[in-house]
Amino acid sequence: MNRFGSRFRIALWGESHGPQIGLVLDGVPAGLPLSEEDFAADLLRRRAGAPGTTPRREADVPQLAAGVCRGRTTGAPLTIVFANENTRPQDYADLPDRPSHADRAARERFGGFNDPRGGGHFSGRLTLALVAAGVVAKKMLPEGVTFATRIAEIGGCTDPARFGEVLRAAEAAGDSAGGLVECCAEGVPMGWGEPFFDSVESLVAHLLFAVPGVKGVEFGSGFAAARMRGSEHNDPILDAEGRTATNHAGGIVGGLTNGNPLVVRAAFKPTASIAREQRTFDRTTGSVGPLAIRGRHDICIALRGAVAVEAAVAIALADLMRR
């Protein structure tokens, strides 16, 4: 359901066009300094407005609604709320089932009672809660843990200097582009992770596949490992601390961190909402016809998804963290 975690637990709620997006966190230690400003940097990374992102802009100012007193967490549930301001009430009746969106399946699942406006609870806007949880998670991690997250590919292009060009070409065609995000967490101590089911990979992937649009996740060499031999892939241990000559494992062996940088990549599909005309089933006519999706959409959801990927890794680590 809308919960995740065992020791650092998150529950979230909200809809694209409902009154608010919110989350409540359990397991945040008491005494952590926390203010609204702490969220600014990551929220900015998620914010729309840059090339390739939607023109729908929200202030997204977090309200610390519970669990903070005198600028520090209290150990009680930490609740963070974002008001939805820029909503556009729509006529419900004639919303079509958009291809590669949850619309059709959600109607089936909820007997037609789901909120259909902008995808409702299935909207990418929900990653706002994930990003906020990630900010808290990063504050909980030991000081030496640092994150480096980047867009590794857009539409198959691996040269950042050409990303703008690729995005503009897609936009000009009324189309969208997929993308690949890589997150690297350094300084994670050795031995985090829980056998059997709660391997580091399992928790991180569980969270990443909750991010709308993610269709693939790999660690270290990932899919390339399937094409390697053991003598190539094995990471020789160099010293008593367990340092290794290579990091094909992406920092995780047997589901546990091994002290190396944790490296994960998430593949985002291209935005399903495209301006360009598609042919799809029209419920009003009962036959296949043209569909042109209006509204404000990202060209490439990986752009704003990158900070959500980082949040997912941080949340999983905060849940697994041991003292």
**Interface positions, 22-51, toward its own copies (CB under 8 A):** 22, 24, 26-27, 30-31
Determine, following the binding rule CB under 8 A, whether residue 176 of this chain makes contact with its own copies: yes
The torsion angles phi and psi of 216, rounded to 5 degrees, stand at -155, 145
Which of the stretches 37-45, 47-55, 94-102, 137-145 binds its own copies when contact is defined by CB under 8 A? Answer: 94-102
d(CA 258, CA 191): 6
Is the C-alpha dihedral spanning 88, 91, 94, 95 positive or negative?
Answer: positive
The torsion angles phi and psi of 144, rounded to 5 degrees, stand at -75, -5
| Residue (of 264, 261, 294) closest to 276 by Cα position | 294
Q: Which two tokens stand for residue 36?
A: 């609204």
Determine, following the binding rule CB under 8 A, whether residue 69 of this chain makes contact with its own copies: yes
Determine, following the binding rule CB under 8 A, whether residue 104 of this chain makes contact with its own copies: yes
Return the number of the residue (41 or 162) whose C-beta is nearest its own copies. Answer: 162
Determine, following the binding rule CB under 8 A, whether residue 87 of this chain makes contact with its own copies: no
Determine, following the binding rule CB under 8 A, whether residue 63 of this chain makes contact with its own copies: yes
Return the number of the residue (143 or 241) whose C-beta is nearest its own copies. Answer: 241
Determine, following the binding rule CB under 8 A, whether residue 207 of this chain makes contact with its own copies: yes
d(CA 291, CA 75): 50
Determine, following the binding rule CB under 8 A, whether residue 321 of this chain makes contact with its own copies: no
Determine, following the binding rule CB under 8 A, whether residue 196 of this chain makes contact with its own copies: yes
Least Å from the CB of residue 318 to its own copies: 14
Per CB under 8 A, the list member of 55, 168, 223, 292 interacting with its own copies is 223
Residues in the chain, overall count = 323
Return the number of the residue (144 or 236) whose C-beta is nearest its own copies. Answer: 236
- Site mask, its own copies, residues 126-145, x = CB under 8 A? x-------------------
Least Å from the CB of residue 225 to its own copies: 4
Q: Please give the size of the binding site for its own copies, defined by CB under 8 A.
A: 146
d(CA 322, CA 31): 18
Contact present, 129 and 14 (Cβ < 8 Å): yes
Which of the stretches 35-43, 49-57, 59-67, 142-150 binds its own copies when contact is defined by CB under 8 A? Answer: 59-67
| Residue (of 205, 42, 231, 14) closest to 123 by Cα position | 14
Which of the stretches 38-46, 49-57, 61-69, 135-143 binds its own copies when contact is defined by CB under 8 A? Answer: 61-69
Q: Which two tokens stand for residue 164?
A: 């703008």
Determine, following the binding rule CB under 8 A, whether residue 19 of this chain makes contact with its own copies: yes
Contact present, 280 and 288 (Cβ < 8 Å): yes
d(CA 304, CA 124): 10
Contact present, 235 and 249 (Cβ < 8 Å): yes
Determine, following the binding rule CB under 8 A, whether residue 163 of this chain makes contact with its own copies: no
d(CA 261, CA 189): 10
Per CB under 8 A, the list member of 114, 132, 141, 313 interacting with its own copies is 114
The partner residues of 78 in beta bridges, in order of sequence, read 25
Determine, following the binding rule CB under 8 A, whether residue 201 of this chain makes contact with its own copies: yes
Return the number of the residue (48 or 81) whose C-beta is nearest its own copies. Answer: 81
| Residue (of 216, 166, 208) closest to 307 by Cα position | 208
What part of residues 228-287 is at the interface with its own copies (CB under 8 A)? 228-240, 242, 244, 248-250, 253-259, 267-274, 276, 278-281, 283, 286
| Residue (of 217, 222, 206, 203) closest to 268 by Cα position | 217
Which of the stretches 40-48, 53-61, 136-144, 215-223 binds its own copies when contact is defined by CB under 8 A? Answer: 215-223
Determine, following the binding rule CB under 8 A, whether residue 56 of this chain makes contact with its own copies: no
